[in-house]
Amino acid sequence: MDLPPSNSILATGHLTTHEELEATGISLQDWLNLTAHLGVNDSWASGNTDCAFSFNDCTGVQRSHRANDWNFFGIDLAKQGHATYTYMLEAPKLVETLTDNTTSTTDKHDVWENRNSPVPTQFSTSYEKSAQKNVTITASQTSSLSISTGINIEGVSFDVTASFDTTNTQANSKTDTVTSQDTVNATLPPGSVVDVDIVTTIHTKLMIYEVVFAIGSDNPEGSIAKATQTQGDWDKFFRIEDIAGERVKSTARYKVNTTETKTSIAISNASAALAQEYLPAVLQLHIGP
């Protein structure tokens, strides 16, 4: 796994905890085993301890006389420029569109009739123009890792932890609505009659999105430390990706339903010639031959 851009880590990440290290499926014992064979001297290989490693403010110790444990000795490798972060490695991306459908309905709103006038006549009508978008996400595969900054899917921000709870419909379904009063005008020639319609268009899509979380560091030297000289001097660093490989990545997968509903105004029974000469573009959505 290549080193990600530091801005990606800093924008979405937080300092990794030892609980998150083990959430990858790698236990403390496994981490100790992985870090025990990195080709460097381990000053903890003496007395009642066999080996140790540190990250951020936490140290895992292999003890020969009792159970292995996590310790907090007052070190802070993050403040020394070797921070380990849990972050979003790959932003939500569309991987498949399952369905994509558009339907529309037409309701008569007004009639402009200039049947008997010998001169062109101006007509005007007002209507409520609206646009609504609903985005609903359902996690079909959750991640062992999470972030607090949220994820953006189809232009909507969702909380990652809440998104893993498929029963939390309030957090995982969001609707945005914009309405306004609009007025359209047109001048019709003598002998013309047109219907002014309100057209409601509904566009629905069902998609699959994926987002990848990971544990890593923005320091190319790495952030997993070994103490090669003395037990208090963590002087040799390794990239966690080089130690654990793909196991420090976790993918969440979502089914995403979107429904976009828009209202517009249109003329339904005007000839193309009349429309081109007399009607504004906003009215030319459903012009017949």
Taking only the tens place, the pLDDT of each residue in 241-289 is 999 999 999 999 999 999 999 999 887 776 666 666 666 666 655 544 3
Model confidence at 4: pLDDT above 90: no
What span, in angstroms and rounded, lies between the C-alpha atoms of 7 and 201? 40
Prediction pTM value: 0.84
For the stretch 64-118, pLDDT in tens is 887 899 999 999 999 999 999 999 999 999 999 999 999 999 998 888 888 888 9
Average pLDDT over residues 177-206: 91
| Residue 22 confidence (pLDDT) | 97
| Residue 280 confidence (pLDDT) | 65
What span, in angstroms and rounded, lies between the C-alpha atoms of 169 and 160? 13
| Residue 134 confidence (pLDDT) | 98
Average pLDDT over residues 214-233: 96
Report the side by side order of strands in the sheet with 224-226. Answer: 69-71, 58-63, 49-55, 224-226, 236-238
| Residue 45 confidence (pLDDT) | 93
| Residue 7 confidence (pLDDT) | 64
Model confidence at 170: pLDDT above 70: yes
The encoded tokens of residue 272 equal 């193309």
| Residue 190 confidence (pLDDT) | 87
Average pLDDT of the chain to the nearest whole number = 90
Q: Band the pLDDT of 1: cuts 50, 70, 90.
A: very low
What span, in angstroms and rounded, lies between the C-alpha atoms of 220 and 211? 24
| Residue 104 confidence (pLDDT) | 94
| Residue 289 confidence (pLDDT) | 39
For the purposes of burial, counting CB atoms within 10 Å of the CB of 149, is it exposed (0-12), middle (13-18) or buried (19 or more)?
middle
Q: H or E element: which one contains 240?
A: helix 240-244
The encoded tokens of residue 85 equal 């972060």
The torsion angles phi and psi of 193, rounded to 5 degrees, stand at -140, 130
